[in-house]
Amino acid sequence: MSDAADRGITVTEMTAMDQPIDVLRETTAAFIGRALRGPINEPVLVQSFGEFRRRFGDIWSRSSLGPATQLFFEHGGKNLYIVRVANNARGAMICLPASGTALVLRALEPGSTECIRAAVDYDGIDYTNEECFNLTLQRIDPATGLVVDQELFEQVSINDASNNFVADALLTSTLARVESPLPTHRPETSLSSSNTFGTTYVGHTQEGTDGHELSDYDLVGSRKHEAGLFALEQIDHFDVLYLPPPGKHRDPGPTSVLAAERYCRERGAMLLVDPLEEWQAPDAVVAGIRQLGYASPNLLGYFPRMYHRYDKETPPRVVGGALAGLLCKLDRKHGAWQDLDRQGLGFSRNLVPAIDIDEEHTQSLIRAGMNVIANGPASSARVRGSVTLGGGSVSHRRFASLPVRRLCLQVISAIDAATRWAVFEDENARLADRIRAQVTAYLACLADMDAFENDQFIVECDAGMRKRDVSAEHGFAIFVAFQPHACKEAISFTLHQSVAGSRVTSTAFAPG
């Protein structure tokens, strides 16, 4: 038996053919970290902090994931995928008596606050049948005692040769799994002896544990097993990735940051990085960036950390979650091609910069690729800079501008998702015209919204690029060129689509 018995098939949603491309699609973020409860290595979409608390537990002093999520929604975020990871955490155990042996169940979701219980009855089962039983599983909210999830498995069997073997049946459960050794008899009924219609639920024999503080390896995880960072393989798209500090007074190490940056390059997303706790002055920030080798247009950093206005005794806190929320708010109200430094995009008034940075050092940090959080009007801190860490790489300096980089990623992502339908069509001139018309209409909308420096852009499509080799896979290529808003040069790239997936050629973003 395997928990992954039903895996191996990947389902990807596709936009219907010839549909208009959404110009202002809601920006989606993804956070990876430790939580009190919830599924492990499974992206869960939450759209409010209340949803996060119900699924992953309340704010926890041993994790920065909860506070980061709260800041995200307070600052304008709408769509957020949470990936819970754990280090040697264990699920609670339930033992159901079975004539001197026991049916042992282990909670699928580890954690000290994951509360499940079970009940057994023989309703509807012939009295001569001594191997089948009905099993009810419930998840209880530890704060209210209310049932939040329930599963019923009818006429399951302890016989491993049965078509309804209990261990196989529970492979579909989201609450528990069967553990070895198996009982020699079916579990005893848990109906109350004092009330024929009552049910006595069996609780934990052993409580779950929360495990240890996360390491870089827990955050990075495994591509093969879709764990950690690579759990995001299970979702089609995300725009912003953030790794909250994995432990108290411990920042994500270079191993996890560089692995996440590489993965963001593959997925066309931005990675938000917090300033290290040891960076207490602008000169230390510039030196630290160079030492760590952070030189990527997919990296978005900021400095300094922030205090709560009425609690300056507590060490400054990271605000990557708030910055992710502001990016979502910017995209929704103004577009990804606009600067972050604008009215209405300030931090909560309860947050103030831990350090006041003068103009000379502000400009020095911006040149180094670091955005600066500074006090703004109406007692609201603002982001100055709108830059990426791409300036440290000669080949990516044109993407030192955050709006330019994010616009290009948005265009690639939108065209990719909207044209996947065409890989299953016959390659001919008519198909090329349909793709060209679809992409041209999208870019024209962006031009009307002032996403480009001018209204000139180029769209070409080769819907017969593979026909020279009949053994090659079905596919086509789309060439696009435009000049982003406030950019001095044109950008061009070629997107290759095939049934195996999409890719941007190595000459992508060359000057047009």
Question: Structurally, how many domains does the chain consist of?
Answer: 3
User: What span, in angstroms and rounded, lies between the C-alpha atoms of 101 and 180?
Assistant: 11
Question: What is residue 393's predicted lDDT score, i.e. its pLDDT?
Answer: 64
Both 46 and 32 in one domain: the answer is: yes
Q: How confident is the model at residue 16 (pLDDT cuts 50, 70, 90)?
A: low
Both 282 and 356 in one domain: the answer is: yes
Both 262 and 313 in one domain: the answer is: yes
Residue 411 falls inside a structural domain: no
Sheet holding 176-179, edge to edge: 93-98, 101-107, 176-179
Both 103 and 238 in one domain: the answer is: no
Beta carbons of 221 and 230 less than 8 angstroms apart: yes
Residue 205 falls inside a structural domain: no
> What is the SS3 assignment for 74-88?
HCCCCEEEEEECCCC
Question: What is residue 337's predicted lDDT score, i.e. its pLDDT?
Answer: 94
Segment 468-493 shows an average pLDDT of 80
Tokens standing for residue 466: 């593979």
Residue 17 falls inside a structural domain: no
Both 246 and 334 in one domain: the answer is: yes
Query: Domain end: 336, 371, 402, which one?
Result: 402
Residue 23 falls inside a structural domain: no
Q: Which of 91, 96, 95 is nearest to 108 (CA)?
A: 91
Q: Is the pLDDT of residue 31 over 50?
A: yes
Q: What does pLDDT average to over the chain?
A: 89
Q: Is the pLDDT of residue 401 over 60?
A: yes
Both 173 and 234 in one domain: the answer is: no
Q: Sort strands 370-375 and 299-303 into parallel, antiparallel or unpaired.
A: parallel
Residue type present at position 122: Y
Handedness of CA 39, 44, 49, 51 (dihedral sign): negative
Both 395 and 425 in one domain: the answer is: no
Query: Domain end: 374, 402, 430, which one?
Result: 402
- Length of the chain equals 512
Q: Is the pLDDT of residue 83 over 80?
A: yes
Q: Is the pLDDT of residue 197 over 50?
A: yes
Both 221 and 255 in one domain: the answer is: yes
Beta strand spans in 342-490 (E): 351-353, 370-375, 381-384, 452-462, 475-484
Q: Is the pLDDT of residue 342 over 60?
A: yes
Q: Which of 15, 188, 222 is nearest to 118 (CA)?
A: 188
Segment 52-79 shows an average pLDDT of 95
Domain of residue 364 covers 28-87+213-402
Residue 15 falls inside a structural domain: no
- Scanning the structure block, which residue is given the tokens 């099993």? 135
Identify the bridge partners of residue 496 per DSSP, sorted by sequence position. 477, 503
User: What span, in angstroms and rounded, lies between the C-alpha atoms of 380 and 342?
Assistant: 12
Q: Which residue has the higher pLDDT, 427 or 276?
A: 276
Both 253 and 397 in one domain: the answer is: yes
Residue 326 falls inside a structural domain: yes
Segment 30-39 shows an average pLDDT of 95
Handedness of CA 137, 55, 265, 330 (dihedral sign): positive
Task: Give per-residue pLDDT as tens, 349-397.
Answer: 999 999 999 999 999 999 999 999 999 877 789 999 999 998 766 566 7
Q: Which residue has the higher pLDDT, 289 or 198?
A: 289
Beta carbons of 209 and 43 less than 8 angstroms apart: no
Query: Domain end: 355, 370, 402, which one?
Result: 402
Residue 19 falls inside a structural domain: no
Both 350 and 250 in one domain: the answer is: yes
Both 367 and 293 in one domain: the answer is: yes
Q: How far apart are the first and last CA of the chain?
A: 55
Both 245 and 135 in one domain: the answer is: no
Least reliable range by pLDDT among 41-55, 243-257, 270-284: 243-257
Residue 139 falls inside a structural domain: yes
Question: What is residue 192's predicted lDDT score, i.e. its pLDDT?
Answer: 61
* Domain at 302, CATH number: 3.40.50.11780
Peptide bond into 181 cis (omega under 30): yes
* Domain at 454, CATH number: 3.30.360.90
Q: Is the pLDDT of residue 472 over 90?
A: no
Task: Give per-residue pLDDT as tens, 201-258.
Answer: 999 999 999 999 999 999 999 999 999 999 999 999 999 999 999 987 789 999 999 9
Q: Is 297 helix (H, G, I), strand (E, B) or coil?
A: coil
